[in-house]
Amino acid sequence: NFVLGGVGAIVNGAVFPVWGVLLTKCTVLFFQTYRGSDGMREEALKWSGAFIGLGAAFFLAITLQNHQFAIACERLTSRVRAMCFEAMLRQEIAWFDDEKHSSGSLTTRLATDSAAIRTMTAETVNVVLVNVSTLAIAFGIAFSQSWQMTLAFLGVFPLMGFGAFVQMQGMSGANAKNANDGDIKAGALLSEAINSIRTVASFCLEKTTNESYLAFLQLSSATDRKVGISAGIGFGVSQSCMFFAMAFLFWFGGWLLLRGDIDFERMFLVLNPIMCSSFGVGMAAQGMGDMAKAKKAVQSIFGIIDRIPPIDCSASTGTVLSAVKGEIELKHVAFAYPSRPDSKIYKNYSLTIHAGQTLALVGGSGSGKSTAINLIERFYDPAAGAVYLDGHDLRTLNVQSLRNHISIVSQEPVLFAGTIAENIATGKPGATQAEIEDAAKKANAHDFIMRFPDGYNTSVGDRGVQVSGGQKQRIAIARAIIRDPEVLLLDEATSALDTESERIVQESLDALLKQKRRTTVIVAHRLSTIRNADMIAVVNDGKVCELGTHDELVGIMNGLYANLVAQQVQM
Ligand SMILES: Nc1ncnc2c1ncn2[C@@H]1O[C@H](COP(=O)(O)OP(=O)(O)O)[C@@H](O)[C@H]1O
Ligand SMILES: [Mg+2]
């Protein structure tokens, strides 16, 4: 497609100098009175026919060029988009903690930047091909007619080069830096507002949200305007330089004419093709105004595509564990979230969970319970110390293989748009209907699913808005256990539920834990849940302070756990 499009562009470029030649021929004809009126009419008809031919060639060339380039660029854009999306999904969790990588910014980037890349490739290839072909042919013709004039023209060429330089500067100058940051921020805001429309509505934030959106748009249009002004000035300078050069050439041509070095026809065969070509060059160059945006877009997109995440879930490297017992150990772990490096969550955190054991993590809000779970999933790497599974440092394991042995149910699980069956099957791609129903039964979800008219084919809506909290949680549990993981992580799985749903979900979880011994980490607040665990770890100030069974910990005088139990019993 690029080849055919290129042929179109070259023919398109050739049209302008040929136009100049034809124009000269027609003009000169009026002075060739020696041909007689019939002869002149014949000649005029001949050249008019040539104009029609030229028009047809122009039509065909432009059609071919645009059509073929459109196809090629469309393919290119889709590929860049696909690559970019793939690269985004590959990044580690910490990358997404960065505000610059919120869902809205990334969506906007994917849309606008790849569009800018398309414009850039199409425009650049077009402009380069059309200009090179136009100028080459124009100068070829000119040179064959009068080398003196062509040389003179080449003498003023730097002047025009300067014009073009000014133009390029205007387009890719200082404004390039934040050319589309406003767009991206606006996109991020939009996505955030729509995703949390209920919150926006209940706090009546419509007006303020809208105002922030407008502000971002204005930021974007202000930079656009600046780019527009400087690009306009540059374009003006480069075009006027063209006319100054023409003025000089007319004068020089007239001088050569007087001296008798060239005749009238030759002079115009130099001037007209170049003049018409400059018209073509100007037309092609006008599309280059968005170069600054495009340049930034390319940088930003390839910045994502080329980034190799420190925790790479697409890597094929690392040990792949076939049989996992489920022994987990955190040894002398120090950790701070990369987005907040100054607040140390763990200073010296050590914890062993034996295979098949159930461990309950207890501690105040913000004490780092979920953080332990994040580290076991290897969403983050510790700053010092290490996390082990069956004695292997997680950093030596293949990321996907590690995560395939772990299932997590969190406080607010997210379902994907689709049916209940599809959602449960995400836990184990290719699961059969029988496996899905079995998992649902274990999660105590089968009965309510069957009460839906569509059963397992009921749609859960965007992010699961069409099922209740308790139902959502049980679907998430079924999704977690369908793959029969060696390690199960339950992070406040029942905390977001009302008392009734909490009881039902808790019963499902208790039954689940009895069915099979597997390594389980539970974060919960209810004493009954915690009490049943094999081990209880009380976390405070970045480390494990108390570790033991319920009975052991209750025995510690004034212990953190003993106090906690006393509080709950009082209530
Ligand atoms: N993605 C994150 N980026 C920065 N800080 C975080 C992040 N997640 C949690 N934190 C902080 O880490 C601390 C521990 O959080 P967490 O482990 O979620 O506590 P909890 O024990 O309530 O589950 C909190 O102070 C929280 O503000
Ligand atoms: Mg938590």
| Residue at a domain's end among 306, 341, 369 | 306
Question: CB burial class (10 A; 0-12, 13-18, 19+) of residue 165?
Answer: middle
One-letter amino acid at 392 equals H
8 A C-beta contact, residue 380 and residue 459:
no
* Distance from Cα 492 to the centre of ligand 2, integer Å: 7
542 and 393 in a common domain: yes
Kindly state whether residue 193 falls inside one of the protein's structural domains: no
> Bridge partners of 397?
319
528 and 391 in a common domain: yes
Ligand 1 contact, 372 CB (< 6 A): no
Q: Are strands 328-336 and 344-353 parallel, antiparallel or unpaired?
A: antiparallel
Taking the CA of 363 as reference, the closest ligand is 1
Residue 541 is part of which domain span?
324-405+524-571
Ligand 1 contact, 312 CB (< 6 A): no
Kindly state whether residue 235 falls inside one of the protein's structural domains: yes
155 and 240 in a common domain: yes
114 and 260 in a common domain: yes
Predicted local confidence at residue 395, as pLDDT = 94
Ligand 1 atom nearest residue 539's Cα: 21
Predicted local confidence at residue 16, as pLDDT = 84
CATH number at residue 350: 3.40.50.300
* Distance from Cα 496 to the centre of ligand 2, integer Å: 12
Closest protein CA for atom 11 of ligand 1: 366
Element (H, E) at 68: helix 36-90
Ligand 1 contact, 339 CB (< 6 A): yes
340 and 268 in a common domain: no
Ligand 1 atom nearest residue 97's Cα: 1
Q: Read off the pLDDT of residues 192-219 as tens digits, 9 standing for 90 and up.
A: 888 888 888 888 888 888 898 888 888 8
* Distance from Cα 540 to the centre of ligand 2, integer Å: 14
Ligand 1 atom nearest residue 372's Cα: 17
Taking the CA of 97 as reference, the closest ligand is 1
Kindly state whether residue 119 falls inside one of the protein's structural domains: yes
Q: Read off the pLDDT of residues 240-273 as tens digits, 9 standing for 90 and up.
A: 777 787 788 888 888 888 888 888 888 888 888 8
134 and 42 in a common domain: yes
**What is the rounded distance in angstroms from the CA atom of residue 49 to the CA atom of residue 25?**
12
At 444, give phi and psi (nearest 5°).
65, 30
Ligand 1 contact, 342 CB (< 6 A): no
Predicted local confidence at residue 104, as pLDDT = 85
Ligand 1 contact, 444 CB (< 6 A): no
H helical segments located in 453-538: 469-481, 499-515, 527-531
Ligand 1 contact, 411 CB (< 6 A): no
* Distance from Cα 9 to the centre of ligand 2, integer Å: 60
157 and 87 in a common domain: yes
Residues with Cβ within 8 Å of residue 73, at least 6 apart in sequence:
118, 121, 122
3-state helix, strand, coil in the chain (%, to 5): 65, 10, 25
Kindly state whether residue 448 falls inside one of the protein's structural domains: no
Element (H, E) at 67: helix 36-90
Ligand 1 atom nearest residue 369's Cα: 21
17 and 92 in a common domain: yes
Query: What does each of the 571 residues of the chain score in pLDDT, given as a tens digit?
Result: 777 888 888 888 888 888 888 888 888 888 887 888 888 888 888 888 998 999 999 899 888 888 888 888 888 888 888 999 999 999 999 999 988 888 888 888 888 888 888 777 777 777 778 888 888 888 888 888 888 888 887 777 676 666 666 666 655 554 444 556 777 788 888 888 888 888 888 888 888 888 988 888 888 777 777 777 777 777 777 777 777 877 888 888 888 888 888 888 888 888 888 878 777 776 666 555 556 667 778 888 889 999 999 998 888 888 998 888 999 999 999 999 998 999 999 999 999 999 999 999 998 888 899 999 999 999 999 999 999 999 999 999 999 999 999 999 988 888 888 899 999 999 998 899 999 999 999 888 999 999 999 999 999 887 777 788 888 988 999 999 998 899 999 998 887 777 888 888 888 888 788 878 899 999 988 887 888 889 999 988 888 889 999 999 988 888 888 888 888 776 5
* Distance from Cα 371 to the centre of ligand 2, integer Å: 7
Predicted local confidence at residue 387, as pLDDT = 96
| Residue at a domain's end among 306, 341, 375 | 306
Q: Read off the pLDDT of residues 474-488 as tens digits, 9 standing for 90 and up.
A: 899 999 999 889 999
Taking the CA of 371 as reference, the closest ligand is 1
Ligand 1 contact, 97 CB (< 6 A): yes
**What is the rounded distance in angstroms from the CA atom of residue 299 to the CA atom of residue 294?**
9
Q: Read off the pLDDT of residues 26-70 as tens digits, 9 standing for 90 and up.
A: 888 888 878 888 888 888 888 889 989 999 998 998 888 888 888
Angle at 269 between CA 267 and CA 270, to 5 degrees: 70
Number of domains in the chain: 2
**What is the rounded distance in angstroms from the CA atom of residue 283 to the CA atom of residue 263?**
31
253 and 167 in a common domain: yes
Predicted local confidence at residue 537, as pLDDT = 94
Element (H, E) at 421: helix 420-425
127 and 157 in a common domain: yes
Positive or negative, the Cα torsion across 303, 304, 305, 309? Answer: positive
Residues in the chain: 571
228 and 160 in a common domain: yes
Ligand 1 contact, 337 CB (< 6 A): yes
**What is the rounded distance in angstroms from the CA atom of residue 565 to the CA atom of residue 65?**
78
Neighbours of ion ligand 2 (CB under 5 A): 370
- For a mutational test of ligand 1's pocket, the pick from 335, 340, 541, i.e. the residue with the most ligand atoms closer than 8 A to its C-beta, is 340
Helix, strand, or coil (residue 534): coil
Ligand 1 contact, 365 CB (< 6 A): yes
Closest protein CA for atom 7 of ligand 1: 337
Kindly state whether residue 331 falls inside one of the protein's structural domains: yes
Q: Of 250, 234, 232, which is closest to residue 156 (Cα–Cα)?
A: 250
| Residue at a domain's end among 278, 306, 334 | 306
What is the per-residue DSSP string for 151-216?
Answer: HHHHHHHHHHHHHHHHHHHHHHSGGGTTTTHHHHHHHHHHHHHHHTHHHHHHTT-HHHHHHHHHHH
Predicted local confidence at residue 170, as pLDDT = 59
Predicted local confidence at residue 177, as pLDDT = 47
> Bridge partners of 358?
520
Kindly state whether residue 191 falls inside one of the protein's structural domains: no
Question: CB burial class (10 A; 0-12, 13-18, 19+) of residue 31?
Answer: exposed
169 and 64 in a common domain: yes
Element (H, E) at 348: strand 344-353
Ligand 1 contact, 494 CB (< 6 A): no
Predicted local confidence at residue 524, as pLDDT = 84
